[in-house]
Amino acid sequence: MRLLVTGGCGFIGSHFIHLALEKDSSIEIINLDKLTYAGRLENVEDLKNNSRYKFVKGDILDHGLMAKLAKEIDIIVHFAAETHVDRSIISAGEFAKTDVLGTQTLLESALAAGHKRFFHISTDEVYGSREKGFFKEEDNLAPNSPYSASKAGAELMVRAYEHTYGLSSTITRSSNNYGPNQHPEKFIPRAITNLIRNKTIPIYGTGKNVRDWTYVRDNCEAILLLLQKNALGTYNIGMMDGKANIEIAKQLLVLTGKNESSLQYVEDRKGHDWRYAIDTKKLKALGWKPQVTLEQGLKATVDWYSANKKWWAPVVIDK
């Protein structure tokens, strides 16, 4: 099975590449990445001599390159996207361009190359927020940020190519991922790297917003399972165990030996979603279940950032 993994030098994409090559000897991978601020060659440096792996620097909006690469593989597994909500509030157009038009370029290339299937990585944020209960895959999309709207737009493009042109698809909507190699702009790595440097953790509003945190390897295990089973349709990936941001922050204080004087409450994000919550029974029916508890995952993540300052120091965010 020959894969084109887009965004494979990013956080989740690089973890998926390592897992897929480790667990399935039939898989060969071309890793396409533009190497923006969030794409790091260091994340896949250990694979450069792997005969089943090749790196190509390029942009998913490059029609010629995408058409060429699509002819060399069997299926596109599409991770590449602009993903940070705060950045999307400042620069919504870039998110629409990359996430929607970039996805359309890939779909067109897959169709032209005669692919039977397209695998798209999305997010639970496309559902929007809800006070109680859990979103199921058939629920309506109601994105509230430019980021989640761009991801919803990408999903609708995937749906259109399936309905209009017959290109079958798999879409995954995962909850918030965390783990090693995540850019420090995101909440958990930013909190950890700040605490390591004896700085405060910025907490939006009251810190009561709820997120469902999934360790990155568990997410990648689910994606690989769906790929191997040729499972079509949409699948939620998550823990079904939401925690308030302030709870996560306090766990990180304990793990780094800090106290609550390291918490700094800041002005809330515009349009901040209150709670994300997704039902994962459909995925679990295929045999998937998370292997890493939140406590285990947070400790492993703190340990990794503590041991890898050279990786994150050049890109750490102070504002």
Share of the chain above pLDDT 90, in %: 90
Measured CA to CA, the distance from residue 214 to residue 268 in angstroms comes to 24
Residue 301 in any domain: the answer is: yes
Q: Is 147 a catalytic residue?
A: yes
Q: What is the pLDDT of residues 5-48, one digit of tens each?
A: 999 999 999 999 999 999 999 999 999 999 998 999 999 999 99
Q: Verify that 222 and 263 share a domain, yes or no.
A: no
pLDDT score at 268 = 81
Angle at 55 between CA 53 and CA 61, to 5 degrees: 130
DSSP secondary-structure letter at 269? P
- Given the residues 82, 99, 108, 125, the one annotated as active site: 125
Q: Verify that 173 and 228 share a domain, yes or no.
A: yes
Average pLDDT, stretch 242-253? 97
Average pLDDT, stretch 254-277? 92
Q: Verify that 260 and 136 share a domain, yes or no.
A: no
Q: Verify that 151 and 9 share a domain, yes or no.
A: yes
Q: Verify that 202 and 146 share a domain, yes or no.
A: no
Q: What is the pLDDT of residues 144-160, one digit of tens each?
A: 999 999 999 999 999 99
Q: Verify that 203 and 145 share a domain, yes or no.
A: no
Measured CA to CA, the distance from residue 74 to residue 28 in angstroms comes to 10
Residue 279 in any domain: the answer is: no
Measured CA to CA, the distance from residue 81 to residue 38 in angstroms comes to 10
List the domain range (segments joined by +) for residue 40: 2-177+214-237
Does residue 93 surpass a pLDDT of 80?
A: yes
Q: Report the phi/psi class of residue 298: left, alpha or beta, with left for phi > 0 and alpha for psi in -120 to 50.
A: alpha
Residue 171 in any domain: the answer is: yes
Measured CA to CA, the distance from residue 107 to residue 92 in angstroms comes to 22
Q: Verify that 54 and 122 share a domain, yes or no.
A: yes
pLDDT score at 319 = 53
pLDDT score at 105 = 98
Residue 122 belongs to what H/E stretch? Answer: strand 117-123
Q: Verify that 111 and 254 share a domain, yes or no.
A: no
pLDDT score at 90 = 86
Question: In the numeric block, which tokens belong to residue 283?
Answer: 């995925």
Does residue 82 surpass a pLDDT of 90?
A: no
Q: Residue 270: pLDDT band by 50, 70, 90 thresholds?
A: confident
* pTM for the structure as a whole: 0.96
Angle at 273 between CA 150 and CA 318, to 5 degrees: 85
Residue 288 in any domain: the answer is: no
Residue 287 in any domain: the answer is: no
In angstroms, the Cα distances linking 105 to 161, 215, 288, 311 are 11, 30, 31, 32
Residue 281 in any domain: the answer is: no
Q: Verify that 146 and 190 share a domain, yes or no.
A: no
Per this entry, what is the length of the chain? 319
Average pLDDT, stretch 104-119? 98
- Given the residues 124, 218, 221, 273, the one annotated as active site: 124
Measured CA to CA, the distance from residue 181 to residue 172 in angstroms comes to 21
Q: Residue 87: pLDDT band by 50, 70, 90 thresholds?
A: confident
Residue 252 in any domain: the answer is: yes
Average pLDDT, stretch 226-238? 98
Q: Which residues contact 254 (CB under 8 A, 6 or more apart)?
A: none
Average pLDDT, stretch 110-119? 98
Average pLDDT, stretch 45-64? 98
Residue 89 in any domain: the answer is: yes
CA 87 to chain centroid: 15
CATH number at residue 190: 3.90.25.10
Number of domains in the chain: 2
Task: Note whether 135 and 277 are within 8 A (CB).
Answer: yes
pLDDT score at 316 = 83
Measured CA to CA, the distance from residue 316 to residue 194 in angstroms comes to 9
Q: Verify that 219 and 304 share a domain, yes or no.
A: no
Q: Which residues contact 92 (CB under 8 A, 6 or more apart)?
A: 146, 150
The total of other beta-carbon atoms located within 10 Å of residue 38's CB is 23
Signed CA dihedral, 123, 127, 130, 134: sign only: negative
**Percent composition of the chain: helix, strand, coil (DSSP 3-state, to 5):** 45, 20, 35
Average pLDDT score over the chain: 96
Q: Which residues contact 260 (CB under 8 A, 6 or more apart)?
A: 250, 253
Min mean pLDDT across 217-221, 263-267, 293-297 is at 263-267
Q: Is 212 a catalytic residue?
A: no
Does residue 318 surpass a pLDDT of 80?
A: no
Q: Verify that 62 and 148 share a domain, yes or no.
A: yes
Average pLDDT, stretch 48-70? 98
Selection from 81, 19, 14, 44 nearest residue 292 by Cα: 19
- Given the residues 127, 147, 161, 215, the one annotated as active site: 147
Residue 223 belongs to what H/E stretch? Answer: helix 216-228
CATH number at residue 29: 3.40.50.720
Q: Verify that 227 and 267 share a domain, yes or no.
A: no
